[in-house]
Amino acid sequence: MSAITGHQAAASDLRARYARLPADRRVRLAKPTSNLFRFRSDAGRIARLDAGALDRVLEVDPVARTATVQGMTTYEDLVRATLAHGLMPHVVPQLKTITVGGALAGLGIESASFRNGLAHESVREVEVLTGDGRLVTATADNEHADLFRGMPNSYGTLGYAVSLKVELEPVRRWVTLRHIPFPGASGASEAAEAITAICRAGSYDGERVDFLDGTVFSGNEQYLTLGRFADEEPYQPSDYTGQRIYYRSIQHREHDVLSTHDYLWRWDTDWFWCSRALGAQHPVGRLLWPRKYRRSDVYRKLVALDRRTGLSGRVRGWRGLPQEEPVIQDIEVPVERLAEFLAAFHSEIGISPVWLCPVRLRNPEGWPLYPMQPGRLYVNVGFWSAVPLGPGEEPGTYNRRIERLVADLDGHKSLYSDSYYTREEFEGRYNGPAYRELKKAYDPGGRLPDLYEKCVRER
Ligand SMILES: Cc1cc2nc3c(=O)[nH]c(=O)nc-3n(C[C@H](O)[C@H](O)[C@H](O)COP(=O)(O)OP(=O)(O)OC[C@H]3O[C@@H](n4cnc5c(N)ncnc54)[C@H](O)[C@@H]3O)c2cc1C
């Protein structure tokens, strides 16, 4: 049986299993990994649709530069298959177990996003198991173009992506890095100006820039990292999967070189910097932590276990420390508002480090459920930590502040983590009228949850 025939059988089987789920239960997609940061109690009547087996790369076409994959294929598997042909997806989200379907439904970004947009913008077609139980193929210009445009930021509330065809681009063997410091209080606005100039020219100091991201350690210490494909390694390549830690290297060296594979996964080994809280960056802890378990999905499982058991909260209580509010968010603001956002963030939230990633939509029409303005340059700001609650402060205080700040600066917030919007605000920010039309067309019976219920109410 060819991979495509095998896929058709698996997709029909998924559809049949979906039809058999009890009608009075809320459907939830079941797969072995997740990168969501909403830890739900699973209370209520849930029916799980196990889609974990739809995780294969079906075909890589090196001539057309496309790959056809099943919806639950991880980027780790897709990258392995495409690098073998000297190709990569246009945008590879940094965490290895993010899936191609998940990055479509929940959005994905990386350091190529200043030239290639969001991860889903290189999807050419998507086969969807819709809420009303059909299997349809949606493209930008067929009868399901509304679904094609509405899947991004729908979080599995219109249907599930069962297979996708994605565009690929050629790679070289190495990526050379240059970490440019922007010190001092004016560093953030200087970095924003540099981002604007680099994104406009596609180069810096006369050298092509293929990848661009940034790391903020404090209000006085910020860096942009410029990546450039190279055929030759100018010096000994680095390896940050061992004792050395990638994000720390940014503060200590101006130039570096990684294999393209290691560059794509540079943030996964230490989950950006979040492995620190689990002891994986302590010299002894790191020696003891087996290399194959230095991965974002392992750390996330440990954090999920802690959230379920409430262990670290109890330990803080025993030690007389204040409880903490998790603040795990990705937001984006227009580049010209970046310095303002960072200044307010440092004084009101105080988490560090912080990740920066410029992004400009590739599609001139934009995407209805995530209303970024086409043609406008934004900077994604990612922060994943916790803030101690002061006396009388309720959990939600700091996440609400971020929502207000983002709104004041004409930005947007991703929905993979906690949100506190009222329904009215949410509908205004995420195009409620367009969503309702899509829901009517693809899930009129409300078999799948509503987007607001799923992303805001279900905490
Ligand atoms: C700490 C942290 C850092 C992050 N950093 C980045 C980052 O730097 N870059 C980036 O790109 N993203 C980042 N993300 C966000 C991540 O890309 C999104 O959460 C993405 O949706 C996760 O995809 P997943 O495959 O793991 O899906 P899951 O976590 O399993 O699911 C996410 C949502 O999408 C739905 N879904 C999953 N698969 C499908 C499908 N096939 N069809 C329809 N709906 C589906 C699920 O129902 C769920 O609502 C980060 C998340 C966290 C927690």
Q: For residue 170, what pLDDT is reported?
A: 98
21 within a domain of the structure (yes/no): yes
Angle at 445 between CA 439 and CA 449, to 5 degrees: 60
Per-residue pLDDT reduced to its tens digit, 9-45: 999 999 999 999 998 888 989 988 887 776 665 556 7
Nearest ligand 1 atom to alpha carbon 99: 25
Among 89, 87, 88, 91, which Cα is nearest to 111's?
Answer: 91
Mutate to test the pocket of ligand 1, among 31, 36, 56 (most ligand atoms within 8 A of CB): 36
344 within a domain of the structure (yes/no): no
Residues 147, 442 contacting (CB under 8 angstroms): yes
In this prediction the pTM is 0.94
Which residue's CA lies nearest to atom 37 of ligand 1?
Answer: 102
142 within a domain of the structure (yes/no): yes
60 within a domain of the structure (yes/no): yes
Ligand 1 center–CA 268 separation, angstroms:
14
416 lines ligand 1 (CB under 6 A): yes
Residues 341, 411 contacting (CB under 8 angstroms): yes
215 within a domain of the structure (yes/no): no
- What is the CATH number for 133? 3.30.465.10
59 within a domain of the structure (yes/no): yes
Nearest ligand 1 atom to alpha carbon 36: 29
Spans in the chain with pLDDT lower than 70? 38-44, 458-459
Strands 123-130 and 159-170: antiparallel
The 3-class secondary structure across the chain, one letter per residue, is CCHHHHHHHHHHHHHHHHHHCCCCCEEEEECCCCCCCCCCCCCCCEEEEECCCCCCEEEEECCCCEEEEECCCEHHHHHHHHHCCCEEECCCCCCCCCEHHHHHHHCCCCCCHHHHCCHHHHEEEEEEEECCCCEEEEECCCCCHHHHHHCCCCCCCCEEEEEEEEEEEECCCEEEEEEEEEECCCHHHHHHHHHHHHHHHCEECCEECCEEEEEEEECCEEEEEEEEEECCCCCCCCCCCCCCCHHHHHHHCCEEEEEHHHHHCCCCCCCCCHHHHHCCCCHHHHHHCCHHHCCHHHHHHHHHHHHHHCHHHHHHHHCCCCCEEEEEEEEEEEHHHHHHHHHHHHHHCCCCCEEEEEECCCCCCCCCCCCCCCCCCEEEEEEEEEEECCCCCCCCHHHHHHHHHHHHCCCEECCCCCCCCCHHHHHHHCCHHHHHHHHHHHCCCCCCCCHHHHHHHCC
213 within a domain of the structure (yes/no): no
State the chain's mean pLDDT as an integer: 93
| Domain, as residue range, for 95 | 3-171+440-457
Residues 237, 265 contacting (CB under 8 angstroms): no
Per-residue pLDDT reduced to its tens digit, 423-459: 999 999 999 999 999 999 999 999 999 999 999 976 5
Mutate to test the pocket of ligand 1, among 55, 98, 273 (most ligand atoms within 8 A of CB): 98
Query: Which amino acid type is present at position 181?
Result: P
Nearest ligand 1 atom to alpha carbon 151: 43
Q: For residue 199, what pLDDT is reported?
A: 98
129 lines ligand 1 (CB under 6 A): no
Q: How many structural domains compose the chain?
A: 1
159 within a domain of the structure (yes/no): yes
Which residue's CA lies nearest to atom 48 of ligand 1?
Answer: 155
Neighbours of 142 (CB within 10 A): 12
